[in-house]
Structure 1
Amino acid sequence: MPRRLLQRYLPHPESLRKRRPLGLPKRLIGDPMLWTLSRRSVANAVSVGLFSALLPIPMQMALAAAGAYWWRANLPLAVSLVWITNPLTMPLIYYGNYRVGAWLLGDTPRMAPASLSTKWIAERLTDILPPLMLGSLAVALVAAVLGNVAVRLVWRWQVSRSWRKRAHQREKAKRHKPSFRQE
């Protein structure tokens, strides 16, 4: 079941309460709804985490934590999904978002230079920023909706598969049960 798999990897709220330097508000750590692993809370966490991860803004983890609180999503899952955009994947993801934004605006996207520098980015920031923000917002919304639907479908499929398996095992046990008839 997906719940058991997620419980294996996500931190327990008690372990985070002991680590006060994390600076998490007591309201976030103490709310049991933010630690629940249900189909709804996990699907909402995936939406919040993907949306936050795909925006080129600072403090994505704080946005994911606030979104998890607002949407009643699983807090550790939403915050950990932000790390999809890490220093290795960030350039590719944001360049793809820029290209989507340029396509939506009807512009031709600029090609990145062979040696990317902060000077090149600063000179072209006014040209790059509108398509990057629009593309990031569009990709983030689509990814959030698709992630939510995918989690709900996979969770439902997994639960129905588990139910069928248990029903088959009960039927099999019923057929092979010895009968004690007295004659």
Structure 2
Amino acid sequence: MKRYLHLKVVQIGRKVKRSPFLNKYFPKFKDPVYWAGDRMSFARAGFVGAFCMMLPIPFQMLLGSIIAYYVRANIPFATALAWITNPLTMGPIWYGGYRFGTWVLNTPSSAELAGHAQNIPIASSQWFSEVFPTIWQPFFLGNVMLGVIFGSIFYVLIGYFPYIKRFLVWAFSVRHSNS
């Protein structure tokens, strides 16, 4: 399984590095720091990926890859971390961020507001006009703060513990070929 996963990461990396669009608009894209990297490249990628994972926005993976490019971080690792938030996990992750935001802002949680919004369908125009204005601040603040906290934890763990870095180099490095 490990060998298969590593092979797939290498194949995807080679295809991406040969992309005409990426080579035109991101000229430093073939730099080895984005694909093989060093300890700090992986640490930066850990921060970027964990931060983007917590953002309640669409296309977190794309945002993580773009930010990784500009901060010279390992792109496959930052992208893989952003994949943690997927349709199955986004609800619990973002709800946890919302609860953290209500705790930080000391505002009532959705459980306390449930009596008022009990019969309002989620994502309806009525929900956006009555419920969303009361929850958006703790929702976004909590998720952004947790993204910074988790990103900092990843940065410290990867940047200062060498055994974690060895595994990441093995799993997410794309070997360069002459072709």
* Structure 1 residue ranges without an equivalent (≥5): 160-183
Question: How do 1:5-154 and structure 2 match up within 5 A?
Answer: 10-11=9-10, 13-18=13-18, 24=22, 25-27=25-27, 29-111=29-111, 117-119=122-124, 121-122=127-128, 123-154=130-161
Task: Find the residue that maps to 1:51 and give its secondary structure.
Answer: helix
Question: For the aligned residues, what is the CA RMSD?
Answer: 2.9
- Change in Cα spacing, 1:7 to 1:62, as seen in structure 2 (3 Å) is same
- Change in Cα spacing, 1:103 to 1:124, as seen in structure 2 (3 Å) is same
CA-to-aligned-CA distance 1:83-118 (integer Å, 9 cap, x gap): 111000001011110011111111121126699632
Q: What one-letter code is carried by the residue in structure 1 that aligns with 2:145? A: A
- Change in Cα spacing, 1:150 to 1:9, as seen in structure 2 (3 Å) is farther
- Change in Cα spacing, 1:157 to 1:94, as seen in structure 2 (3 Å) is closer
TM-score of the superposed pair, with normalisation by structure 2: 0.72
Q: Which has the higher contact order (CA 8 A, sep 6+)?
A: 2
Larger Rg: 1
- Change in Cα spacing, 1:52 to 1:71, as seen in structure 2 (3 Å) is same
Q: How many residues are matched?
A: 154
Task: Find the residue that maps to 1:27 and give its secondary structure.
Answer: coil
Percent of paired sites with the same residue: 33
Q: What one-letter code is carried by the residue in structure 2 that aligns with 1:53? A: M
TM-score of the superposed pair, with normalisation by structure 1: 0.70
